[in-house]
Amino acid sequence: MRKMLAGLAVIVAIAFIVPSIGAMDRPAKEKPAILLVVFGTSYPEAQAAYENIEKVYQEQFPDAEIRIAFTSDYIRRKILERDNISIENPLTGLAHLNDEGYVNVVVQSLHVIPGEEFHDLANIVDSVKGIDGKFGFKNLVIGTPLLMSLEDYQNASKALTGQLDQITTGTNRTPHSSPRDPAKTAVVFMGHGTEHPANSAYSQMAGILAKDHKNVFLGTVEGYPGYDEVLASLKESGVKNVRLMPFMIVAGDHALNDLTGNESESWKSMLEKEGFEIDYNLKGMGEDDGIAEIFVEHTKEAFAKFK
């Protein structure tokens, strides 16, 4: 199935890359391009994470063309219908860069772990990379997700330190300083989780967070560790207060509903039922420059592979 999809991706890419006769004589641009690829979000407040990452990339790569693509067709359609804004998917994003003459491109994954979404993106890059001749790329390299090496985990833990002493309030999620006493207030990060083997990354990240910070725990919505493991750790810690935060690049649907929503099955509601006092920091990790810098390093590693 994957081989068939990969072959289809090449065919579709070719169809997009040859939109006009004039494009066949396009001059190649030596200026590099970076295509930032995310799942996407339709929440305007959550867009701050992507805007911050783009800002950091423009500062770090002033001579590169920076663009963004969403992998979620549902979110792309929703934004188009609601806001009349068209956002490309990774395949059409690559096709348009090629059509404009960009032949040196890094496709930078902004995913947290190398799970299914990342591997689907890698298949697209590998398929398009196989196109030879005048419509091919000179260099097309994929940049890896947030958590790949041990150093990435350690840097992510360090980058998140400042968020532990903040809470957000209001519809615009304004951050306020709120220093915590680790003996009284625990921090619980919620990750997405997946059935993909890469879910093991969350267990490793949870271990590093626990080592670096007192009473800081990580669970996932759809994987292990989950809510039950987090609850057990909280009860063992003896704390009475819990600060909830998303371990996600953007604070979108999961953060607003599964984490801090008022529904009975949200982590907020279930923890309140257990007797904990709750506050939260609804700040996507992409809003943190330290997290963005980890992606930047992965992009630099990708550029180093150019021939």
What is the distance between the alpha carbons of residues 245 and 281, in angstroms, rounded to a whole number? 5
Strand partners, 217: 188
What is the distance between the alpha carbons of residues 200 and 213, in angstroms, rounded to a whole number? 20
| Tokens encoding 162 | 């400042």
CA distances from 215 to 77, 239, 259 (A): 41, 8, 18
Q: How far is CA 189 from the centre of its chain?
A: 15
What is the distance between the alpha carbons of residues 160 and 156, in angstroms, rounded to a whole number? 6
In the chain, how long is the greatest CA-to-CA distance? 70
What are the phi and psi torsion angles at 53 (to 5°)?
A: -65, -45
> H-type helices in 84-131, by residue range?
90-99, 116-129
CB 115 within 8 A of CB 199: yes
**Could you give the residue numbers annotated as active site?**
192
Helix axes 116-129, 2-17, angle to 10 degrees: 50
